[in-house]
Amino acid sequence: METFKSWAVSSVTAAAVVTVISLLSPSGNLEKSIKFIIALFLIAAFIIPFSNSDIAFESFDINRGIKEIIDENELNNEVKKNVEDSLENAVETEISAYLSGVDIDYVSVEAKVSVDKDNNIYTQSISIILSEKILTYELEKFVSERFGIKPDVKFESED
């Protein structure tokens, strides 16, 4: 909006200046040259405000605007997927480090994390497969306290 306001002000000012110059200019041999210079001045006065702005004429294309909205939604979905993957990896890494720190052999650790439409993060599930049967109370306590969910602990021999 500011660009159009600037354009209107410069156009009116240029028209006023051109009118005064036309009235003061001599007639005769110089008249054509002066009119040519005045025309160039007017053209420049109409174009220069747009060349100094960030607005491009193609920005008024409705289809382009819709495409940008769709691209933004796709980008948001991609970002959410990347966040989910990163958080799942972080949960799996932390649990793996805990298991290694307490000398528990494990086969795999898998976490499922989701981000909802309001950008709330939820740990949906944590599955841990251990190499051998052990008491899992301390492991379940750690995971529950740290991630707010009881893990699904299985043993390799159960698969």
DSSP at 71: H
- 150 within 8 A of 127, measured Cβ to Cβ: no
Q: pLDDT by residue (tens digit) across 136-152?
A: 899 999 999 998 899 99
What is the extent of the structural domain holding 45?
A: 2-55
**What are the backbone angles phi and psi of residue 102, rounded to the nearest 5°?**
-105, 15
Kindly state whether residue 126 falls inside one of the protein's structural domains. Answer: yes
Kindly state whether residue 147 falls inside one of the protein's structural domains. Answer: yes
- How many structural domains is the chain composed of? 2
Residue 89 belongs to domain with CATH number = 3.30.300
Q: pLDDT by residue (tens digit) across 77-116?
A: 777 888 888 889 999 999 999 999 999 899 999 999 888 8
Q: Give me the amino acid identity at 136.
A: T
Range name among 4-13, 33-42, 58-67, 102-111 with the lowest pLDDT average = 58-67
